[in-house]
Amino acid sequence: MSPATPAAVVAASHDSLQKHARTFSWAAALLGRRLRDDVAVAYAFCRYLDDLADESPDPHLAEQALNRVRADLLRGESAEPLVGAMLELVRQRQLDVGALLALVDGVQSDLGSVQLRSAADFDRYCYQVAGAVGVLMCGLLGVRDPRALPYAVDLGLAMQRTNICRDVTEDAARGRTYLPVSQLREENLTPTALLGAQAAPPGAVVVVARVLADADGLYASARHGYRFLPLRARLAVAVAGRLYQMIGEQLRRQGGDPWRGRAAVAGWRKLLGAAGAVATAIVAPLWRRDHDPRLHAHLQGLPGVDPGSAATPDRADLPPVGARTALR
């Protein structure tokens, strides 16, 4: 971090990372001190936006607060210390403000009840709240090759799918349905069937399994982008990606049923997963597979998206990503 960033902001950011994101804190430990500080501040900023949406008793007040953050990002300065620290990172690391604005858009869309009706809505939401973070992480980690960005987007898309599947019941308690409505309807479900349900409605587990399979394909694609990262950053990102994917695997051990409890990975499994991720990171420079633009067919025009995606068919016309063995 810059010497101009208050030490209290950095310390509070590390506290937030350790308290709310154990998986990421494991991975961040592999970075050098300065990068750890930068990643902690970026995480705390994202958490700050989430809290504005989730903790405010009045959605109107939350929207006003998020609009102030948006105005600060566009102006390049802020009276809020954490937002100011994030803007200092933007200047130091040449981060894409467009990705930050997409993140604000995504969090703002969480205000009130939520339904993601189509595959395109689902993909764009996952980009806004997580794929955009992948773009920012490239800048934080010093990656300047534009070929790396689509893979970073894929990792964010995959992680958000894992989040959505893990947190179905918690989100439903807030009146939010993130599982795609189009897929729920294929199983004769409506979004309201998830709200207040005490057990998994018939068909919900099928949709969760489908989204997790989609996530697995995106994780597989993301691994082909590790070669663009410096070694320590590569180790950290590989560990974070693998540990997050393991949450989905744990959910599968629960029968793919989020109503059986929030999926959490045991410590010994995390150690094994981290060891495997380190091995993956070491051999990653040997991989040279081009990015599949079909993965971004719904994301044209957003920062970091595969530029070939505009010429690809709609993903609704394709099989689930997890079924495309060419990505594995």
Q: pLDDT tens digits for 162-172? A: 999 999 999 99
What are the tens digits of pLDDT across the range 137-153? Answer: 999 999 999 999 999 99
CATH topology of domain 113-328: Farnesyl Diphosphate Synthase (1.10.600)
Q: How confident is the model at residue 80 (pLDDT cuts 50, 70, 90)?
A: very high
Query: Is residue 85 predicted with pLDDT exceeding 50?
Result: yes
**Average pLDDT value for residue range 293-298:** 96
**Average pLDDT value for residue range 231-238:** 93
**Average pLDDT value for residue range 243-259:** 95
Q: Helix/strand/coil (H, E, C) string of the chain?
A: CCCCCCHHHHHHHHHHHHHHCHHHHHHHCCCCHHHHHHHHHHHHHHHHHHHHHHHCCCHHHHHHHHHHHHHHHHHCCCCCHHHHHHHHHHHHHCCCHHHHHHHHHHHHCCCCCEECCCHHHHHHHHHHHHHHHHHHHHHHCCCCCHHHHHHHHHHHHHHHHHHHHHCHHHHHHCCEECCCHHHHHHCCCCHHHCCCCCCCCCCHHHHHHHHHHHHHHHHHHHHCCHHHCCHHHHHHHHHHHHHHHHHHHHHHHCCCCHHHCCCCCCHHHHHHHHHHHHHHHHHHHHCCCCCCHHHHCCCCCCCCCCHHHHHCCCHHHCCCHHHCHHHC
CATH 1.10.600.10 in the chain is located at 113-328
Q: How confident is the model at residue 276 (pLDDT cuts 50, 70, 90)?
A: very high
Supply the pLDDT for residue 309.
Answer: 80
Query: Is residue 3 predicted with pLDDT exceeding 70?
Result: no
What are the tens digits of pLDDT across the range 24-74? Answer: 676 777 787 888 899 999 999 999 999 998 887 888 999 999 999 999 999
Query: Is residue 181 predicted with pLDDT exceeding 90?
Result: yes
- 196 vs 311, more confident: 196
Query: Is residue 326 predicted with pLDDT exceeding 50?
Result: no
Query: Is residue 317 predicted with pLDDT exceeding 50?
Result: no
Q: What is the mean pLDDT of the chain?
A: 89
